[in-house]
């Protein structure tokens, strides 16, 4: 069904990341007119999120994209926590405990750009969607009747108007800044450094899960197989220069420090990230809505940024469609803000912080107590299920629904 444009259902979305594209598709497939603006001339093919949790796969399944997505990813049936000294197993959490809770009882390791490519192809085939690449939004505002944005395309500037505006333009969101919405939180002092290598760690560590958290008081790390390369993420002290971190010498030292190997490791990518914990003071201001990283940011331990952003998209699309198509009160959009802010603060950011504390803990007795607790949970089927429900963001999806 495609509605007539006079039905006040024109939505502008800023940002062709996984969240903006998911929202565009959710709205457009119900007949809403969507204009999506992306500053880059193409989709970003960078190495960022690579984890799709069961809760997100259940949602994406309703868009009919999973077959294509799963075929390009790596199915991980269990996650491991190991000790860095000898890679001994501290705890294993097996997703089969969720077989009654989800159609997809596993973590899918698959780069986020694979999802964006699938969604873009769908959107390009729709007549009620306009995708504007090389179109940077510099300013946004609103009146009672609608929204406007200043869009710059190759030095030419124009004003675009619509009925609703959704900012999915990432952590630096120009829309959020234009509207003076606070992005409350902090930067972590340390940087995060991700190195990708084709080296097959699984040939050297028995029964290694493709998602393995390595606890260590001096240098924790995260090992992910996603899906063709291993990505190893290390913390880097703030005083170390980016040049030094990326030097061949320092890269080899970090990899050799994790596992000694007789020759140099082959390295395909190296990326340094500054990581922040943030939650916008509101996800709704009049006709403007925030979703994904534009609304919240967290450390990547637990793979929750992309996932919770896609959860925002589904929550928001459901409510905005009720407002646009069925004349529901726009107060529903305030509920979107309350529900998803609650998830960011009470679930995502606190879980991500706990994951980091667990891995880096260096006070001997505290560290031992935390690791013992994790082991105890993994060994108790009821506690293990609770843990995986939380880590998979199934608990947070359910508890958001309880927020009025």
Ligand X SMILES: Cc1cc2nc3c(=O)[nH]c(=O)nc-3n(C[C@H](O)[C@H](O)[C@H](O)COP(=O)(O)OP(=O)(O)OC[C@H]3O[C@@H](n4cnc5c(N)ncnc54)[C@H](O)[C@@H]3O)c2cc1C
With 0-12 / 13-18 / 19 or more C-beta atoms within 10 angstroms meaning exposed / middle / buried, residue 64 is exposed
Distance CA 40, CA 188 (A): 27
Q: Which is nearer to ligand X, 129 or 367 (CB)?
A: 129
| Least distance CB 279 / ligand X (angstroms) | 13
Considering the rule CB under 6 A, would residue 130 count as an interface residue with ligand X? no
Q: How far is the CB of 291 from ligand X (least distance, A)?
A: 7
Residue/partner pairs of 198-206 with CB below 8 Å, 24 or more apart: 198/228, 198/229, 198/230, 198/266, 198/268, 199/230, 199/255, 199/261, 199/265, 199/266, 200/230, 201/230, 201/259, 204/259, 205/82, 205/87, 205/259
Does 303 bind ligand X (CB under 6 A)? Our answer is yes
Binding status of residue 17 toward ligand X by CB under 6 A: yes
Q: Which one of 2, 7, 8, 40 is in contact with ligand X (CB under 6 A)?
A: 40
Tokens of 316: 């928001």
Max CA distance (Å), the chain: 68
Least distance from ligand X to the Cβ atom of residue 136, Å: 4
Query: Closer to ligand X at the Cβ: 168 or 367?
Result: 168
User: Applying CB under 6 A, which of residues 19, 60, 215, 289 lies at the interface with ligand X?
Assistant: 19
Residue 73 touches ligand X, criterion: CB under 6 A: no
Residue 54 makes CB contacts below 8 A (sequence gap 6+) with 95, 98, 101, 102, 103, 104, 105, 106, 107, 392, 394
List 9, 10, 13, 15, residue binding ligand X (CB under 6 A): 15
Angle formed at CA 348 by CA 106 and CA 315, multiple of 5 degrees? 80
Q: How far is the CB of 14 from ligand X (least distance, A)?
A: 5
Residue closer to ligand X by CB (options 28, 367) is 28
Shortest CB 363 distance to ligand X, Å: 27
- Is position 304 an interface residue for ligand X (rule: CB under 6 A)? yes
Specify the pairing of strand 156-162 against strand 147-153. antiparallel
The site for ligand X, by CB under 6 A, has a size of 35
Residues in the chain: 404
In 3-state terms the chain splits into helix, strand, coil percentages (rounded to 5) of 40, 25, 35
Q: How far is the CB of 271 from ligand X (least distance, A)?
A: 7
Q: Quick one: which of 10, 24, 28, 37 contacts ligand X (CB under 6 A)?
A: 37
Taking the complex as a whole, the smallest distance from the CB of residue 5 to ligand X amounts, in Å, to 23
Q: Is 51 in the site for ligand X (CB under 6 A)?
A: yes
Cα angle for residues 398, 401, 404 (degrees, 5° grid): 150
Give the range of 93-101, 202-210, 306-314, 396-404 binding ligand X by CB under 6 A.
306-314
- For residue 10, the Cα-to-chain-centroid distance in whole angstroms is 27
Quick check: 393 binds ligand X (CB under 6 A)? no
Q: Taking CB under 6 A as the rule, does residue 307 contact ligand X?
A: yes
Query: DSSP character for 202?
Result: G
Binding mask 168-207 for ligand X (x = CB under 6 A): xxx---x-----------------x-x-------------
| Alpha carbon 342 to its chain's center | 17
Residue 151, Ramachandran bin (φ over 0: left; ψ between -120 and 50: alpha; else beta): beta
Q: How far is the CB of 150 from ligand X (least distance, A)?
A: 10
50 near ligand X, rule: CB under 6 A: yes
Of 15-23, 85-93, 209-217, 393-401: span binding ligand X (CB under 6 A): 15-23
Whichever of 278 and 367 has its CB closer to ligand X, that residue is 278
Q: How far is CA 88 from the centre of its chain?
A: 29
Q: Which stretch binds ligand X (CB under 6 A): 75-83, 167-175, 236-244, 355-363?
A: 167-175
Assess 293 for contact with ligand X (CB under 6 A): yes
Q: Find all residues with CB under 8 Å of 28, minimum gap 6, and list them.
A: 34, 123, 126, 128, 129
Chain residues binding ligand X by CB under 6 A are: 14-20, 37-40, 44, 48-51, 112, 136-137, 168-170, 174, 192, 194, 273, 292-293, 300, 303-307, 309
């Amino acid at each position: 069904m495609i509605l007539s444009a006079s039905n006040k259902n024109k939505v502008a979305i800023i940002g062709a990341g996984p969240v903006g594209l998911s929202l565009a598709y959710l709205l457009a497939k119900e007949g809403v007119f969507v204009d999506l603006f992306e500053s880059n001339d193409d989709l970003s093919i960078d190495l960022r999120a690579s984890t799709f949790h069961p809760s997100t796969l259940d949602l994406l399944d309703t868009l009919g994209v999973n077959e294509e997505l799963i075929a390009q990813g790596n199915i991980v049936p269990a996650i491991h926590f190991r000790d860095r000294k000898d890679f001994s197993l501290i705890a294993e959490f097996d997703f089969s405990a969720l077989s009654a809770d989800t159609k997809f009882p596993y973590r899918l390791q698959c780069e986020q750009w694979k999802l964006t490519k699938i969604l873009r192809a769908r959107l390009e085939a729709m007549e009620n969607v306009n995708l504007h690449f090389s179109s940077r939004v510099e300013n946004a505002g609103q009146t009672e009747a609608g929204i406007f944005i200043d869009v710059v395309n190759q030095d030419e500037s124009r004003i675009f108007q619509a009925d609703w505006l959704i900012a999915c333009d990432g952590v630096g969101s120009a829309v959020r800044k234009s509207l003076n919405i606070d992005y409350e939180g902090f930067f972590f002092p340390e940087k995060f450094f991700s190195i990708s290598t084709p080296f097959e760690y699984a040939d050297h560590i028995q029964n290694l899960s493709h998602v393995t958290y390595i606890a260590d008081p001096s240098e924790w790390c995260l090992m992910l197989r996603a899906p063709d390369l291993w990505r190893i993420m290390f913390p880097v002290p703030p005083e170390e220069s980016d040049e030094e971190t990326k030097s061949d010498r320092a890269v080899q030292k970090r990899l050799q420090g994790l596992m000694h190997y007789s020759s140099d490791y082959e390295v395909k990518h190296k990326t340094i990230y500054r990581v922040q914990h943030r939650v916008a003071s509101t996800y709704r201001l009049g006709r403007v809505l925030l979703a994904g990283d534009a609304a919240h940011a967290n450390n990547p331990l637990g793979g929750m940024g992309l996932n919770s952003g896609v959860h925002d998209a589904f929550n928001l699309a459901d409510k905005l469609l009720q407002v646009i198509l069925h004349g529901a009160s726009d107060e529903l959009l305030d509920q979107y803000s309350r529900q998803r802010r609650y998830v960011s603060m009470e679930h995502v950011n606190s879980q991500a912080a706990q994951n980091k504390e667990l891995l880096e803990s260096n006070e001997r007795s505290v560290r031992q107590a935390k690791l013992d607790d994790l082991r105890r949970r993994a060994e108790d089927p009821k506690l293990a299920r609770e843990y995986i429900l939380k880590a998979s963001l199934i608990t947070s999806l359910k508890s958001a629904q309880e927020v009025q």
